[in-house]
């Protein structure tokens, strides 16, 4: 009866169809209202079909009345389209935050969405539907607050400050979703709602219980900004529990806050397999069955399931846990998203369907990636103006385990650039007349030695074991079966087939490769063989075997003893199942005294560049690594690994000038280096143009102006326990100690003067105006920051200070500008627990303008 009423309502609403539309289902009629089209498509579906569309891997539905293509909702674009072959790779999110540049972030997101649409257009034109990482719904950005530097996923965020995070996220989301009045360009997802930031090892069972004040003043503001200002269309709930209930089944977070208070109009998607944690005995374990878990999540407001729990919704209905109306409510929101993306309309009428594949990795996007990398670099120290170095330098030492690494710059959740450059190559290109002495110097950490591609002289093939590479047989199937399409010799195994397969010019081909031959050992000892591949491969070396078949790109290592001068049989069989093929074979040769070679390189050089820090081999999402300072993706210590600290001291002892370049996604306690090393740069994970940007900053092509989006503490002992979600003594807003480097900190090759602070109030906005002058010797950018200290009251103790405005200004040497930063009064409110709302207190507000949270140049009080 209910179905017939819906049908009657549809006919009454639209009247008799016109002749030109009488054979077109209403849901395909682009002239009909969106609500009518959604209700029509739902009315045509069976219950099982409806349930199938609430999964991330929604199957196709094709019959006489329905034509719904398969669709996979899972896609990523944290700092470029990820895991979908070639794409422009911009700096990791924490590096983007260091730019303090909302305009740049919007431009980057616009380019990302261009590439996303170009890829989607290409895939669908080739009949590909339902594949992961090929859709238009992106699970980015990550706007959780980076409250603790130990969190391995903090690199994915915009740092520790709610206002900075929200401001950058709003710009990013607007760039992703586009500005067309009818169609969404892509869909962005604010994640992970709402109190989520480690530890990684306990994320599936931890229960977090922040105070109301911390919830509404720290953990929620960025989400509020993205819902209200950016109109984000998707929100992802988190793995952990909040106040006793898993976030993806939490009525307080989803029903009360997201839908009722914030009036969110989009859909909620679960983090992957988060709902399964509800009944997993090792995790939340709040129910016994998947149908109970699915019911809790659905009824609380989780519309789309990344995982398998919603396959049990029929059982949940049969048991009376949920109703058909619950299914229809979630399905309405999910289908609305697909309609707004234009998936049921003629592609000719969707403006974004015309974006060509040539947009991907275009010259324009490459230039923006370089600009972003340059703007993200933070100059931490520059004693006696050692930097920039003179390009006419005669000799230079370049030392570090990552100097030949191509992927170190990419961070996590990344795509693959069309061209790759490492730091050594970038410096060699920039300094053709300079003698460069290169050395690895040390391990990344204990157990992780530096690796390099196996040179062709140690790879033998053919009956006569001729040096020069391996025999390579390429097949037009996925199992190395039958006669190969062609055979050649590959001098080394270092391949990324993202723009095209090895068979022709299409990246969509299924293919496989067999490499065979021998490895010749140059020395005797225990070698570390490292293989990285995507999809599926098997490696045979002597009697040892590595098998890999989980679809991801992942490093696997094999310790293998070899004797000098002997050869060992080698065979690799690789199969590509997606347009993201890659295969790499590297090794670490034992017996090298890495530190001795590095010291010799420094002694022979005028200046040494030490390229050290962290990598995604150490900090990442839920890793297995457990070694000193690192535990399953997170950090247990804030200092560099001991091998790196020892190397710094050895190189410093040579007496030669040293420039320390740090990579990583979080704060590093470099206390000894800060006292002794004259020049230090933090470059984060700077993306595809990172090596070029670093070389350019060191040698003066670009004046650095990045600012720290996180506090650099002196020790982990300065922090509360990692699993404590109280903000007390965390971040610059509440930290009572002395940081190594403060939030907002960053030096320049030039200097800036602040003058004439003026405050005025108009239209519920406080205008903060001052003069900014470049009084140094270089053109450059200054990131002017405005902080506010709210008034104290009997019921409220304010934070030490809070960022409420910022702008990045370029000034030529000697140039001055009047800078105005607008502070809407609503941004000066605080949470009042008694009234359960934000209020603007009466009293004296301290307004501070300066170059960082600890470098306040001007301040003035105002009574509000």
The answer as to whether 597 is a domain residue is: no
The answer as to whether 854 is a domain residue is: yes
Q: What's the CATH code of the domain at 329?
A: 3.20.20.300
**Same-domain check for residues 22 and 121:** no
**Same-domain check for residues 806 and 776:** yes
Token pair 């920051």 in the structure block, residue = 785
Q: In the listed set 310, 337, 359, which residue is the last one of a domain according to the structure?
A: 359
User: Residue 271 catalytic?
Assistant: yes
Name the catalytic one among 303, 553, 619, 634.
619
| Segments in the chain below pLDDT 70 | 1-22, 550-554
**Same-domain check for residues 242 and 276:** yes
**Same-domain check for residues 286 and 210:** yes
Reduced to 3 states (helix: H, G, I; strand: E, B; else coil), residue 853 is coil
Distance CA 152, CA 414 (A): 16
The answer as to whether 721 is a domain residue is: no
**Same-domain check for residues 95 and 111:** yes
Which of 188, 199, 165, 301 shows the shortest CA–CA distance to 246? Answer: 301
Q: In the listed set 317, 340, 359, which residue is the last one of a domain according to the structure?
A: 359
**Same-domain check for residues 157 and 302:** yes
Reduced to 3 states (helix: H, G, I; strand: E, B; else coil), residue 789 is strand
The answer as to whether 704 is a domain residue is: no
Distance CA 287, CA 249 (A): 12
The answer as to whether 596 is a domain residue is: no
Give me the pLDDT at residue 15, please: 46
Q: Which two tokens stand for residue 210?
A: 């922040």
Give me the pLDDT at residue 548, please: 81
**Same-domain check for residues 297 and 178:** yes
Contact between residue 242 and residue 256 where contact means Cβ atoms under 8 Å apart: no
pLDDT digits (tens, 9 = 90+) for 839-853: 999 999 999 999 999
Contact between residue 267 and residue 337 where contact means Cβ atoms under 8 Å apart: yes
User: Residue 348 catalytic?
Assistant: no
Distance CA 685, CA 155 (A): 9
The answer as to whether 173 is a domain residue is: yes
**Same-domain check for residues 128 and 3:** no
Give me the pLDDT at residue 552, please: 62
Q: What's the CATH code of the domain at 785?
A: 2.60.40.10
Give me the pLDDT at residue 8, please: 44
Give me the pLDDT at residue 576, please: 85
Is the pTM of the predicted complex or chain greater than 0.85?
yes
Distance CA 814, CA 811 (A): 8
The answer as to whether 544 is a domain residue is: yes
The answer as to whether 848 is a domain residue is: yes
**Same-domain check for residues 179 and 233:** yes
Cis omega (within 30 of 0) for bond into 664: no
**For the chain, what is the radius of gyration of the CA atoms?**
28
Give me the pLDDT at residue 532, please: 87
Distances (CA, A) of 482 to 473, 478, 488: 11, 11, 16
Q: What's the CATH code of the domain at 529?
A: 2.60.120.380
Distances (CA, A) of 710 to 97, 627, 852: 9, 25, 11
Total domain count, the chain:
4
Whole domain around residue 162: which residue ranges? 33-359
Distance CA 853, CA 352 (A): 42
**Same-domain check for residues 15 and 112:** no
Name the catalytic one among 101, 156, 271, 405.
271
**Same-domain check for residues 203 and 240:** yes
**Same-domain check for residues 800 and 777:** yes
814: left (phi over 0), alpha (psi -120 to 50) or beta: left
Q: In the listed set 323, 340, 359, which residue is the last one of a domain according to the structure?
A: 359
């Amino acid at each position: 009866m209910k179905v017939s009423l819906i049908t009657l309502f549809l006919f009454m609403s639209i009247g008799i169809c016109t002749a030109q539309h009488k054979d077109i289902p209403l849901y395909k009629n682009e002239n009909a209202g969106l609500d009518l089209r959604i209700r029509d498509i739902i009315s045509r579906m069976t219950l099982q079909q409806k349930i199938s569309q609430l999964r991330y891997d929604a199957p196709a539905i094709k019959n006489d009345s329905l034509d719904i293509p398969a669709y996979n909702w899972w896609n990523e674009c944290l700092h470029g389209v990820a895991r979908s072959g070639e794409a422009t790779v911009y700096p990791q999110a924490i590096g983007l935050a260091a730019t303090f540049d909302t305009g740049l972030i919007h431009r980057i997101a616009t380019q990302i969405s261009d590439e996303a649409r170009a890829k989607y257009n290409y895939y669908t034109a080739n009949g590909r539907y339902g594949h992961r990482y090929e859709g238009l719904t992106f699970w980015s950005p990550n706007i959780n607050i980076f409250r603790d530097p130990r969190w391995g996923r903090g690199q994915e965020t915009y740092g520790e400050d709610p206002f900075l995070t929200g401001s950058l996220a709003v710009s990013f989301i607007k760039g992703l979703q586009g500005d067309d009045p009818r169609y969404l360009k892509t869909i962005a997802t604010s994640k992970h709602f709402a109190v989520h930031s480690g530890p990684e090892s306990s994320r599936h069972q931890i229960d977090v219980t922040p105070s109301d004040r911390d919830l509404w003043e720290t953990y929620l503001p960025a989400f509020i900004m993205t819902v209200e200002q950016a109109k984000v269309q998707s929100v992802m709930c988190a793995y952990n529990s909040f106040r006793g209930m898993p976030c993806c089944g939490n009525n307080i977070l989803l029903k009360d806050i997201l839908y009722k208070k914030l009036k969110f109009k989009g859909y909620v998607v679960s983090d992957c397999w988060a709902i399964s944690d509800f009944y997993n005995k090792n995790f939340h374990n709040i129910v016994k069955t998947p149908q109970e878990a699915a019911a809790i999540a659905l009824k609380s407001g989780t519309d789309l399931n990344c995982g398998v729990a919603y396959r049990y919704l029929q059982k949940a209905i049969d048991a009376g846990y949920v109703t058909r109306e619950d299914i229809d409510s979630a399905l309405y929101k999910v289908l609305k998203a697909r309609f707004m993306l234009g998936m049921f309309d003629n592609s000719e009428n969707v403006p974004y369907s015309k974006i060509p594949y040539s947009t991907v990795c275009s010259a324009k996007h490459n230039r923006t990636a370089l600009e972003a990398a340059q703007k993200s670099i933070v100059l931490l120290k520059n004693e006696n103006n050692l930097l920039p170095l003179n390009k006419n330098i005669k000799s230079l030492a370049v030392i570090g385990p990552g100097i030949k690494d191509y992927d170190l710059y990419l961070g996590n959740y990344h795509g693959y650039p069309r061209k790759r450059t490492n730091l050594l190559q970038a410096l060699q290109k920039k300094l053709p007349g300079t003698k460069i002495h290169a050395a690895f110097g040390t391990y990344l950490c204990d157990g992780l030695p530096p690796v390099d591609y196996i040179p062709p002289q140690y790879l033998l093939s053919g009956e006569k074991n001729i040096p020069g590479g391996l025999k390579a047989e390429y097949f037009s199937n996925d199992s190395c079966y039958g006669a190969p399409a062609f055979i050649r010799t590959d001098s080394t195994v270092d391949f990324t087939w993202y723009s095209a397969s090895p068979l022709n010019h299409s990246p969509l081909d299924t293919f496989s490769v067999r490499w065979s031959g021998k490895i010749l050992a140059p020395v005797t000892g225990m070698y570390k063989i490292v293989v990285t591949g995507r999809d599926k491969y098997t490696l045979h070396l002597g009697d040892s075997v590595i098998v890999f078949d989980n679809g991801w790109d992942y490093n696997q290592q094999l310790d293998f003893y070899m004797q000098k001068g002997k050869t060992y049989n080698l065979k690799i069989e690789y199969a590509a199942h997606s347009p993201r093929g890659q295969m790499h074979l590297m090794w670490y040769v034992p017996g090298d005294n890495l530190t001795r070679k590095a010291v010799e390189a420094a002694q022979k050089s005028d200046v040494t560049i030490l390229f050290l820090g962290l990598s995604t081999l150490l900090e990442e999402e839920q890793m297995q690594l457990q070694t000193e300072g690192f535990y399953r993706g997170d950090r247990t210590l804030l200092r560099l690994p001991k091998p790196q600290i020892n190397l710094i001291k050895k190189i410093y002892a040579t007496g030669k000038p040293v420039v320390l370049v740090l990579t990583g996604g979080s704060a590093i306690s470099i206390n000894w280096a800060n006292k002794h090393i004259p020049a230090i740069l933090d470059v984060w994970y700077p993306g595809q143009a990172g090596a070029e940007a670093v070389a350019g900053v060191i040698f003066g092509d670009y004046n650095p102006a990045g600012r720290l989006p996180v506090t650099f503490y002196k020790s982990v002992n300065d922090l509360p326990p990692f699993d404590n979600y109280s903000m007390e003594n965390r971040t610059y807003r509440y930290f009572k100690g002395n940081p190594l480097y403060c939030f907002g900190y960053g030096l320049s090759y030039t200097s800036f003067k602040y003058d004439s602070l003026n405050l005025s109030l108009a239209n519920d906005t406080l205008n903060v105006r001052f003069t900014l002058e470049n009084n140094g010797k270089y053109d450059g950018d200054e990131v002017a920051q405005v902080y506010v200290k709210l008034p104290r009251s009997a019921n409220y103790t304010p934070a030490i200070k809070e960022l409420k405005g910022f702008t990045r200004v370029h000034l030529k040497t000697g140039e001055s500008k009047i800078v105005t930063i607008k502070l809407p009064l609503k941004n000066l409110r605080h949470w009042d627990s008694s009234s359960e709302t934000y209020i603007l207190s009466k009293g004296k507000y301290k307004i501070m303008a300066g170059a960082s949270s600890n470098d306040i140049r001007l301040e003035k009080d105002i009574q509000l």
